[in-house]
Amino acid sequence: MAVLTESLARDEVRRRRLAGDKVRKGDAKQPIKKFIQNVHHFRDEGLKDKGAPHDRVVIFDEAQRAWNLSKTSDFMKRKKKQPGFSQSEPEFLIGYMDRHPDWAVIVCLVGGGQEINTGEAGIGAWLDAISSSYPHWKVYVSPNLGDSEYRATEKLEAARRFASVQYEPNLHLSVSMRSFRSERLSEFIRLVLDCEEASAASLFGEVLKGFPLTLTRDLDTAREWIRERARGTQQYGLLASSSAHRLKPHAVDIRFNINPIHWFLGDKDDTRSSYYLEDAATEFQVQGLELDWSIVAWDADLRRTTSGWSYSEFGRGKWLRVRQSERQRYLLNAYRVLLTRARQGTIIFVPPGRSDDPTRDPSFYDGTFNYLRRLGLPVV
């Protein structure tokens, strides 16, 4: 939201100055903030005011990231001094809009497989809220919510038993506006992460016709590949998982907290910008945003083995197995976010590892590299 607000404000200042109107960026931001606001600010207004909101139509972007009951309750107890809060964030937000006596509309924009942080409830929490508390609401959903990355089939069936639920195919954006050069890139990434190797390999040839997607084991080669292909103002950047702690030997330290405004909006001569290919942005900083070209650095936190994916986190100087299914899902979704940020093309960097470093054993990386190569990704 900060990047969008800043970008709109800069554009407003530029246009008004061209028209001869002097305006400060801070003044230009004020009307933008009224139109685009953080969902938590909207929620907090509902806590303070027991009446209906001024808005009758609200659009929740990244609606799958709304908090579940546990996280909402914990936050309300610690930060808002409201112990015993018994609603998830979706349930409270629907309830806030339900205060209108006649009508209100909620539009939930949902990214499949985009839950990446503890406590993010997914679209299922919105359906649960309808089933349990607001069955008088009319619900219109895409039938594609039954696909694997949405994980909503059971929630949909439950909601249909309690509320008016109508399937509307036109509510599904079947062609990603981000990857316009390859309409089926998102489908390919889903197959890759679902370990459907034969289907992914079969689809890859079609994807490659419009979207360069390649593989390397050398980060400098990846940088050169990107710079050779980007044209004019096309933006490129380096991406890595927030769990990718052993990319440090390659001068990629995800512990450095980038400023997304500088990273996305900085000029090519700004060392803080994505163009320098020095500071890596994580899934948290790029979700909902996009680049033209991307380097995705793939660490040993997610490893392909003969039996599927192996999930790890780095702690106490070594990799530790992640056994919690929810945490595994967040890690897989992190790579889903990273692999679907680019509009024009992506190169994946899988480190070679080092046999003399037990935290970067080549076996941690070779399985992933060989898996992607078997799918057809060309190697540079």
pLDDT of residue 122: 81
- Amino acid 134: pLDDT: 95
User: For position 144, what pLDDT does the model report?
Assistant: 83
For tokens 């890595």, the residue is 240
With a cut of 70, which residues of the chain have pLDDT below it? 1, 113, 148-149, 174-183
Report domain extents, the chain. Answer: 37-171, 185-374
What are residue 379's DSSP bridge partners?
A: 215
pLDDT of residue 29: 81
Q: Give residue-wise pLDDT tens across range 75-126.
A: 999 999 899 999 999 999 999 999 999 999 999 998 776 777 778 878 889 9
Report d(CA 291, CA 210) in Å as an integer: 16
- 95, 104, 126: which is closest to 54 by C-alpha? 104
Which ranges of the chain would DSSP assign to H, the alpha helix?
2-18, 25-35, 39-48, 69-79, 89-97, 124-133, 153-162, 185-193, 197-210, 219-229, 260-265, 283-286, 325-339, 362-374
How far is residue 16's CA from residue 19's CA, in Å, rounded to a whole number?
5
Tokens of 290: 């996009």
Q: Is the pTM of this model over 0.85?
A: no
CA 324/CA 340 separation, integer angstroms: 25
Distance (Å, whole) CA 325 – CA 308: 14
Phi, psi of 71, deg, nearest 5: -70, -40
- In this prediction, residue 181 carries a pLDDT of 58
